[in-house]
Structure 1
Amino acid sequence: MTKIHPACPEACDKELLYLFAIDHSDVDMDDYLLGCYADLPPREAAPAFGSDYGLERANAP
Structure 2
Amino acid sequence: MTKIEGEWLRAFDEAMLEFFAIDHSDAGMDEFLLACYMDLPAWESALAFGEDYDLVRMDSFWSLRRQL
TM-score, normalised by the number of residues in structure 2: 0.80
The equivalent of 1:4 in structure 2 is 4
Unaligned runs of 5+ residues in structure 1 are none
| Aligned-CA RMSD value | 1.5
CA apart distance, 1:3? 4.7
Which structure features the higher share of helix residues? 2
Between structure 1 and structure 2, the one with the greater Rg is: 2
Counterpart-to-counterpart distance in 2, 1:44 and 1:3: 19
Unaligned runs of 5+ residues in structure 2 are 64-68
Q: With a CA cutoff of 8 Å and minimum separation of 6, indicate the structure with the bigger relative contact order.
A: 1
Q: How many pairs were matched up?
A: 61
Q: Percent identity?
A: 52
TM-score, normalised by the number of residues in structure 1: 0.88
